[in-house]
């Protein structure tokens, strides 16, 4: 009988070797590292988010030549684009006018088989 008790005692799991059993040193180290990372990110954000110094200057108007009264800017010439713009749709397809659309609908209706409907009505 005692041999059975020793065999059963050998099957017992040691509580210190169990996961989560023992010290939580790793958990505390992880929490401290997370708190330090958040504090460092907050310090970096507050120190780095300062506005750049702005220089101001007084504006003076200079009159010269023939200027229309009250005109702020006079220009001549034409406007050209810096880049060529491309406009496209997300879905490729064919643009149809009203006549093409009507012709497609008529073709679809002519392809339908109405013989089943004619048999049931007679």
pLDDT the model gives residue 32: 95
* Entry pTM: 0.28
- CA pseudo-torsion sign 84, 89, 90, 91: negative
Q: What is the pLDDT of residues 77-116, one digit of tens each?
A: 888 888 888 877 777 777 677 888 788 888 888 777 766 6
CB 25 within 8 A of CB 31: no
pLDDT the model gives residue 37: 96
């Amino acid at each position: 009988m005692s041999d059975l008790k020793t065999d059963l005692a050998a099957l017992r799991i040691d509580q210190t070797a169990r996961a989560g059993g023992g010290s939580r040193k790793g958990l505390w180290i992880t929490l401290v590292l997370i708190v330090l990372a958040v504090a460092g990110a907050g310090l970096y954000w507050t120190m780095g988010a300062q506005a750049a110094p702005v220089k101001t200057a007084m504006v003076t108007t200079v009159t010269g030549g023939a200027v229309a009264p009250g005109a702020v800017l006079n220009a001549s010439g034409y406007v050209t684009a810096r880049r060529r713009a491309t406009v496209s749709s997300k879905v490729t397809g064919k643009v149809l006018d009203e006549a093409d659309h009507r012709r497609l609908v008529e073709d679809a209706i002519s392809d339908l088989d109405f013989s089943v409907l004619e048999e049931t009505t007679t």
